[in-house]
Amino acid sequence: MGNLADLIEQYLRTMLAQQQMVELQRRELAKMFRCAPSQINYVLETRFTLDQGYLIESKRGGGGYIRITQLKRQTPENLPELLDQLISEKVDRDDVDKILDRLVAKGVLGSGKAQLIQFLIKKELSDLPDDYSNYIRAKFIKTLLLIMGTQVD
């Protein structure tokens, strides 16, 4: 028998095998496994990450919940590493266009999704100072590409 984190992970993966999204109460899950809610947090933060194809939404408090969504992606297994190589720690406005053009040219990203990413980045980061926005822009584009799954439209 595995450790507690393994058991919690297996329970959640079994639920996700039956449906793409599950919503649970952290307190109830902790009670079921006779552990602290922080143990549930640990499992979510280490075994259900965006890189692994999961989106975690959480609302704390009495009526709080945890929502785990298994993302449907048709992407290379090493997409996070590819994005780290392609996208530096800071990205200026011109770099966004170059990165997206390269991804479209290679067939990794459809032109419609590239335009959507360009729009979102320009809209959300236009008011920030360049020093700050270049760093945020890099994080933003990586996250958008992971979430969107970069499948050709």
Q: pLDDT by residue for the chain (153 residues), tens digit each?
A: 469 999 999 999 999 999 888 999 988 999 999 999 889 999 999 998 876 778 788 877 766 789 898 866 555 666 777 677 778 888 888 888 888 888 787 777 788 888 988 898 888 888 888 778 888 888 888 888 877 764 434
- Range(s) of the chain covered by CATH 1.10.1200: 79-148
* Contact of 146 with 51, CB cutoff 8 Å: yes
pLDDT at 63: 66
CATH number of 79-148: 1.10.1200
At residue 150, the pLDDT reads 46
Which pLDDT score, from 0 to 100, does residue 76 have?
A: 62
Q: Which regions of the chain carry the CATH code 3.30.56.130? A: 4-70
**pLDDT number for residue 24:** 92
What are the CA-CA distances from residue 12 to residues 35, 76, 80, 114 (Å)? 15, 24, 23, 33
51 φ/ψ angles, rounded to the nearest 5 degrees: -60, -30
User: Which CATH number applies to 4-70?
Assistant: 3.30.56.130
Tokens of 101: 């053009």
pTM of the shown model: 0.52
